Structure 1
């Protein structure tokens, strides 16, 4: 039976890639209807124009609906692909620039900027999950909404029985870069990875064609040769250059590149432009492209210039849906409650580890060995700070929020934590719960 899909955060620049990936996978995942849901009607309408054009170009008869109404968006759907951004890029700009003002990391998902986004995301995401529980209680939510571990913890507390898979495709991006740089085929890999979202390490990378763990040789190549980043934009090229330094300084594991914000926050701040951050790059790039493309289609001129493609971001979440629908029991890196999967980490941590996905949902894979104390120490502090932030949200507690900000490893002391918290709270008055 054909499925009905809702893309929550339909106005996102990632939507065309997801839709094109869905079209590529119709033999495994047949769809009769796609619904675009967004609280920003203008952006959703622009994306509707683009998606209608792509469907027509691909000669697809899938029905398309664009709506700002939750009932119309979610009633009787089978899957929800969530990529909502509460507050939009405009609020992300504050998350990045206010911390930099005080000499600490300003970033979308990491540091206190990530905590600011987390407080917004919890409020908006839990409201959406409430609608889904009301209108489509049997639907699967496949979540890309950040910050993932904070979202996952909040959903676990309020909706423990909801059918949700929390996924991040950054490990795919890292693996694709390694394969591209050094001539590997990652389809031959069985990877073991552990950590929190945007905060983890590879334990092993087993290559079935070579019948061995190739992580030691990958580490050597990263140190001696460096990554090939000519195909990446400047921000990502810089990020992976710093990842090379992480591997050189700590050569036992391959890290997630986002650890740069916790291991080298001074370098991040020194090289940041407090007047022009990643949010501004996206405004001038991806968001501008959406508006220009929608207007181009509306004018019915040069339609061949509409150049969106299927991508790994879309493929990852579609592959998860296909594995659920067809009971394939495929392996993914997902965000789940620990419950002993990492033996020497607290049971109630929300971790990112390999999992099998089938029609019953997510089945985490135990690492069966303890992680190094260095990683454990970093993770324990981060877990505690994230849990305090979720406590602050549910308890409306300013004190818990201050504790969370102070404990965040990108913050040097409580004085800075309080100043940043107070200014972010003022900017987010319409988006955070009230903290007293």
Structure 2
């Protein structure tokens, strides 16, 4: 096989080393001649370049490394783009989390109104990047981790319907790994039937090949009786998995995605949050600080044995998708795709997360072939409508559509709080968002009351 070129869009991310090292572990299955780090933040990109250069030399990899902020250099002739861009960085994520909390609502990066704020930024940055890719590398595959994925996917579908993109989220892998850790299962033996939207779904069945049966009923019983072993999680994720147990006790017919806590138990989430120190602050003090400390160690040639970056599960999921494309493997993944009948009784133009086969042509969704329950359908229909209104607001530059999206978001109790938070997000996001216009008027200008 010819050696490939890969581009990491959002190269300055703390996840980059894990993805790169995971790719390089594949050897002849995924031979690499060049790695390109692309980021609009030259400082973060340079820092990650220093770390990657050290790791490549340490592990004896003969791979060319390019660090660039130039989209032409980043994308021309590349084979795969692994996208993990974060428009506005952790600084804007902090606003996404803290502004809703001021009003007593869920403050989270992909869910609730924080997710909508992030979605408006992501659409603007991501679509600009896809334009560069269409110009410089129209045959390249985009493997996307950029959040919020349902919103990003919907916007790409509208503007670039023919672009070669697969939208993937590894949260279902995280759930299955917790089942593995807590109860001794082997998730590689699972054939899972799952449906929903990104960060908003349920398992209908988990068939264990080694047992020859659906083990979801016994999983639910174990979670009700003993719960997860959260010893491998940090405090934030430990709390998330404990709330997932509450969901299962209240709704024991399906295994939910733990992100549903933000919609079903928003009051509990808010009560547990510190409005002055959110997940963004944890990451700034953790993962981002680690990057700076690692760069200092490399530059000063000290404590090199403490540099512990390695391949990981986060990287493996997206790399396995690339391998399934490269080798036409038809492996099975949970992916975000246009519905078009995959969930029969859900609107056909929804962007859903369902099992798919992946081959040289891309993702081929697997139909559930039966309707989903009204409770799940009702929740999903409202969420789909809110997300589509937000994408409408972006393309139409419509303040009215944005207000409707914020009001319909299921974490929001009334239009007054939706409008207050929308107006505050307009102010803090500035040029990260498109300008929003009121119907029949000039560009919307926020007037402070």
Category of TM-score, reference length = shorter chain: over 0.9
| Structure 2 equivalent of residue 281 of structure 1 | 282
Q: Which deviates further from its counterpart, 302-311 or 251-260?
A: 302-311
- Whole-Å separation in 1 of the counterparts to 2:221 and 2:29: 39
**Take 2:230 and 2:272, find their aligned partners in 1: how far apart are those partners?**
19
Give, in angstroms, the shift of residue 57 of structure 1. 1.1
Aligned position for 2:232: 231
- The DSSP-based 3-state class of the residue aligned with 1:331 is strand
Q: 1:27 offset after TM fit, Å?
A: 2.0
| Structure 2 residue matching 1:354: 3-state secondary structure | strand
Match of 1:129 in 2: 130
Deviation at 1:309, TM superposition (A): 1.6
Is 1:48 the counterpart of 2:49? The answer is yes
Report what 1:347 is aligned to.
348
| Counterparts of 1:325 and 1:389, CA distance in 2 | 35
Deviation at 1:430, TM superposition (A): 1.6
Gaps of 5+ in 2: 438-449
Distance 2:303 2:40 in 1: 30
TM-score (norm 1): 1.00
Q: What is the Cα deviation at residue 41 of structure 1?
A: 0.4
Aligned counterpart, 2:21: 20
> 1:159-198 to 2 correspondence within 5 Å?
159-198=160-199
* 1:187-220 Cα distance to aligned partner (Å, 9 max, x none): 1110010000000000100001110000000000
Give the C-alpha shift of residue 295 in structure 1. 1.1
Give the secondary structure class of the aligned counterpart of 2:241: helix
Which secondary structure does the structure 1 equivalent of 2:298 belong to? helix
Q: What per-residue deviation string (whole Å, max 9, x for no partner) do you get for residues 5-46 of structure 1? A: 000000000001001101111221111000000000000000
Distance 1:391 1:296 in 2: 47
Which residue number in structure 2 is paired with residue 220 of structure 1? 221
- Alignment correspondent of 2:419: 418
Task: Report the alpha carbon displacement of residue 230 of structure 1 after superposing the two structures with TM.
Answer: 0.7
Shift of 1:301: 1.0
1-structure distance, mates of 2:250, 2:64: 52
Specify the SS of the correspondent of 2:191. strand
| Alpha-carbon separation, structure 1, partners of 2:281 and 2:48 | 20
What is the Cα deviation at residue 393 of structure 1?
0.1
Runs of 4+ in 1 over 6 A off after TM superposition: none
User: How far, CA to CA, are the matches of 2:188 and 2:389 in structure 1?
Assistant: 39
Partner in structure 1 of residue 32 of structure 2? 31
Cα distance in 1 between the residues matched to 2:407 and 2:215: 39
Is residue 325 from structure 1 mapped to residue 326 from structure 2 by the alignment? yes
Instruction: Give the SS at the match of 1:27.
Output: helix
String of CA shifts for 1:361-417, please: whole Å, max 9, x gaps.
110000001000000000000000000000000000000000000000000000000
Residue 445 of structure 2: aligned partner: none
1:310 and 1:249 mapped to 2: Cα distance? 37
Give how far 1:73 is off: 0.4
Q: Distance in 2 between matches of 1:347 and 1:430?
A: 33
Map Cα deviations across residues 307-355 of structure 1 (whole Å, 9 max, x no partner): 0121111000000000000000000000000001100000000000000
3-state DSSP class of the match of 2:384?
helix
Q: Distance in 1 between matches of 2:358 and 2:186?
A: 23
Cα displacement (A) at 1:79:
0.2
Deviates more, 1:161-170 or 1:48-57: 48-57
Aligned to 2:410: 409
Paired residues in the alignment total 436
SS at 1:202 equivalent: strand
Q: Residue 429 of structure 1 aligns to a residue in which SS?
A: helix
Query: Which residue of the partner structure matches residue 72 of structure 1?
Result: 73
Name the SS for the 2:368 alignment partner: coil
Trace 1:263-412 onto structure 2 (pairs within 5 A).
Answer: 263-412=264-413
CA offsets, 1:143-197, max 9 Å, x none? 0000000000000000000000000000000000011100111111100100000
Unpaired segments ≥5 residues, structure 1? none
RMSD: 0.5
SS at 1:433 equivalent: coil
TM-score normalised to structure 2 length:
0.97
For the residues of structure 1 that align with 2:295 and 2:174, how far apart are their CA atoms? 28
Structure 1 Cα separation of the partners of residues 410 and 266 of structure 2: 9
String of CA shifts for 1:208-244, please: whole Å, max 9, x gaps: 1110000000000011011011111110000000000
CA shift for structure 1 position 80: 0.1
